[in-house]
A and B are shown apart, each in its own frame.
Chain A
Amino acid sequence: MELTNGMVMGASLSDTLANMWNAIANSSFFEVTLRLFEGLFTTVELFVLTLLFSLPLGLIICFGSRCKFTPLRYVVKTIVWIVRGSPLMLQILVVYYGPGLLFGWDLLPRFTAALVTFVINYACYFSEIYRGGIQSIPRGQYEAGQVLGMTKWQVFSKVVLLQLIKRIVPPMGNEFITLVKDTALVRVISVYEIIWMGESFIKKGMMWPLFYTAVFYLVFNGLLTLALGYFEKKLDYFKS
């Protein structure tokens, strides 16, 4: 009795596996994967370009928010408040539709609008991380530089910067990982990133490609985590 039962179960398990394989093959697993890779390309492009522009821009914003000239400091702090205080998805819509609605300008290309929004948004977050990092550098480092006759810029670039980078790698890593996932928001203006691609299969009655997109994010963030860990290790040769 038990034996037959087991055999029945075994048969049904292998049936299930066979069915699943057929389902995957028939529902063109490879086609889906290919489409998602297409989406991944857009995601990676957005990720890389956002970092490329927002990392330096964030430093400039940081200097602005620490500026001794009060009006400028307040303007910068207000911008940071607005950008950090409102949903990124809304910001994407505003950047994409806003200029057209307000001034009747032509719409920006979708990807450009998304990129501009991300650069501004992330630069504001980065500026606060830089600010925290700069404030955590002991004053003695600046003073040592000063009594050795260095200019303010030399003290920053030669003494403070690398210590700053070392200190901000962990919080920056957090932001990088959030950025990978935030790229999914650009589908509100129909930029074809991974989620959009995955979702497009729902029309064809396939739900699983949407969930399958998670694998792409997990692998991407996994590699990113490894890279950040490697970078952190590289800076381990000194303590500050």
Chain B
Amino acid sequence: MPILQVKNIQKSFGAVNVLKGIDFSLEQGKVLSIIGSSGSGKTTLLRCLTSLETADTGCVEIDGKVVFDSESTVKLTRQEKRENQLKMGLVFQSFNLFPQYNVLDNVMLAQQLAAKDRLDYKAKKQEILAEIEEHSRQIIDSVGLSDKLQNYPCELSGGQQQRVAIARALALNPKILCFDEPTSALDPELTHEVLAVIKELATRNMTMIIVTHEMTFAKEVSDQVIFMDDGVICEQGTPEQVFDSPQNQRLQEFLGSFQK
């Protein structure tokens, strides 16, 4: 059974129909890349999946559990909302690190706040906080920034900031990690170090959805590729199918523009 099942997601902003019915599914441990020109609805789709936008219609199921259903009238509790939210991690194009916290605190903050809701928090506070710190240090180490624990975001390069952002999202153990054009704000050199981290995650079987304009990277890292145009999925398949023998005319044009 797929870990993610997306059915008929539609979203309009006023009169603008941004998503016109999106359906796809993703298997556990696979990497999905979403490609397409700007304004095709890729980012909006990602924002609907991560609850930053509420889709007008449709339903999202993660790991067999419905996390969004436009038909549902059930009011979720705060705890349920948070649980649903945390099934999905999101890495932003503009990093969005918290500038007043150092690297370690950026990664620990959400975990510390969540821990306060634990019933045993008062009794085992020290233990829990120590655990969180240990876990965070390990994750920061895994993105290669253990020497930057005490640095503030303004002291880091864009690539380093994005790696912290990835660590921050990973620290909450999301079932699926989403990337919204993670390298679009970076120069080629820094892009490389961020992509290396994502590749490393792929080898560890992290389920990921990556919205990107890095075609070579998408081809290399993905198990599944979706090409979106004008709010619909025009073509999807394996990277070989999509990149090497595209059927859809828009996709051919789109890929053609990259070869020039």
- Please determine whether chains A and B interact with each other in the same assembly: yes
A205 to chain B, nearest CB (A): 58
**CB-CB contacts below 8 Å: A164-190 with B:** 166
Q: How far is the CA of A159 from the CA of B110 in the complex (A)?
A: 10
Please name 4 further chain A to chain B contacts, defined as beta carbons within 8 Å, in addition to the given A154-B113, A238-B154, sorted by A numbering.
A149-B85, A149-B110, A149-B172, A238-B153
Collect the chain A residues with CB atoms within 8 Å of residue B88's CB: 147
Q: A148-B172, A238-B152 are in contact. Are A143 and B114 (CB under 8 A)?
A: no
A12 part of interface (Cβ distance < 8 Å): no
> Is B99's CB under 8 angstroms from A239's CB?
yes
Collect the chain B residues with CB atoms within 8 Å of residue A78's CB: none
Residue in A143, A144, A146 whose CB lies within 8 Å of B98: A144
> Is A240's CB under 8 angstroms from B99's CB?
yes
Collect the chain B residues with CB atoms within 8 Å of residue A84's CB: none
Interface size on B, residues (CB 8 A): 27
Which 9 pairs between the two chains have the least Cβ-Cβ distance? A148-B110, A140-B96, A144-B96, A239-B154, A240-B99, A147-B90, A238-B99, A149-B82, A238-B100
Q: A158-B113, A238-B154 are in contact. Are A151 and B99 (CB under 8 A)?
A: no
Q: Enumerate chain B interface residues (CB-CB to A < 8 A).
A: 50-52, 78, 82, 85-86, 88-90, 92, 94, 96-100, 109-110, 113-114, 152-154, 168-169, 172
Residue in B52, B90, B99, B113 whose CB lies within 8 Å of A163: B99
Q: A144-B92, A159-B98 are in contact. Are A150 and B154 (CB under 8 A)?
A: no
> Is B100's CB under 8 angstroms from A151's CB?
no
Residue in A143, A150, A166, A239 whose CB lies within 8 Å of B96: A143
A148 to chain B, nearest CB (A): 4
Q: Enumerate chain A interface residues (CB-CB to B < 8 A).
A: 138, 140-141, 143-151, 154, 158-159, 162-163, 166, 237-240
Q: How far is the CA of A138 from the CA of B152 in the complex (A)?
A: 18
B43 to chain A, nearest CB (A): 12
A and B contact pairs by CB, cutoff 8 A, 23 listed? A138-B94, A141-B96, A141-B98, A143-B52, A144-B92, A145-B110, A147-B51, A147-B90, A147-B169, A148-B109, A148-B110, A148-B169, A149-B82, A149-B86, A149-B110, A149-B113, A149-B114, A149-B172, A151-B78, A159-B109, A163-B100, A238-B153, A240-B100
Collect the chain A residues with CB atoms within 8 Å of residue B169's CB: 147-148
Collect the chain B residues with CB atoms within 8 Å of residue A154's CB: 113
Collect the chain A residues with CB atoms within 8 Å of residue B92's CB: 140, 143-144
Residue in A146, A148, A237 whose CB lies within 8 Å of B152: A237
Q: A147-B88, A147-B90, A149-B82 are in contact. Are A138 and B172 (CB under 8 A)?
A: no
Q: How far is the CA of A163 from the CA of B98 in the complex (A)?
A: 9
> Is A162's CB under 8 angstroms from B100's CB?
yes
Q: How far is the CA of A154 from the CA of B97 in the complex (A)?
A: 15
Closest to B113 in A: A154
Collect the chain B residues with CB atoms within 8 Å of residue A143's CB: 52, 92, 96
Closest to B154 in A: A239
Closest to B109 in A: A158
Collect the chain A residues with CB atoms within 8 Å of residue B89's CB: 147
Q: How far is the CA of A145 from the CA of B154 in the complex (A)?
A: 19
- Most interface-central of A145, A148, A166 (chain B CB within 10 A): A148
Collect the chain B residues with CB atoms within 8 Å of residue A163's CB: 99-100
Q: A238-B99, A240-B99 are in contact. Are A150 and B52 (CB under 8 A)?
A: no
Q: How far is the CA of A44 from the CA of B198 in the complex (A)?
A: 58
A168 to chain B, nearest CB (A): 14
Collect the chain A residues with CB atoms within 8 Å of residue B99's CB: 163, 238-240
Q: A141-B96, A159-B98 are in contact. Are A150 and B110 (CB under 8 A)?
A: yes
